[in-house]
Amino acid sequence: MVETQKKPLSSSSKPIPSYIQSIINKLPNKDILSTSDVFALGIVSDRSTLTYWRTKGTGPKFIQMSPGRIIYQKSDVLEWLEGRYYGAKDEI
């Protein structure tokens, strides 16, 4: 199977709304993010939202290291953000 990889928002040639760019700018300079790192981006107002999204499968992909330790790959968070971006009608 040939797998195609989407370009993350941060290197996209399309203009990015400033509020999305501000989230990208907050990403720590590391490849693996903790739940605290993702929460600090300001995309949710409560940590329990991340838990809810994990149970529903609607949030960023995650890795469960142990029952109390969840991590995220930075590339997965960027991909998830890209999937949340909706442009003007003519761009869709």
| Assessment of whether the complete model's pTM goes beyond 0.75 | no
Boundaries of every domain in the chain: 34-83
Report the distance separating Cα 42 and Cα 40, nearest Å: 5
∠ at Cα 42 (92, 18), nearest 5°? 45
Name 74's bridge partners.
none
pLDDT at residue 4, as a whole number: 40
pLDDT digits (tens, 9 = 90+) for 28-71: 888 999 999 999 888 888 889 999 999 999 999 999 999 989 99
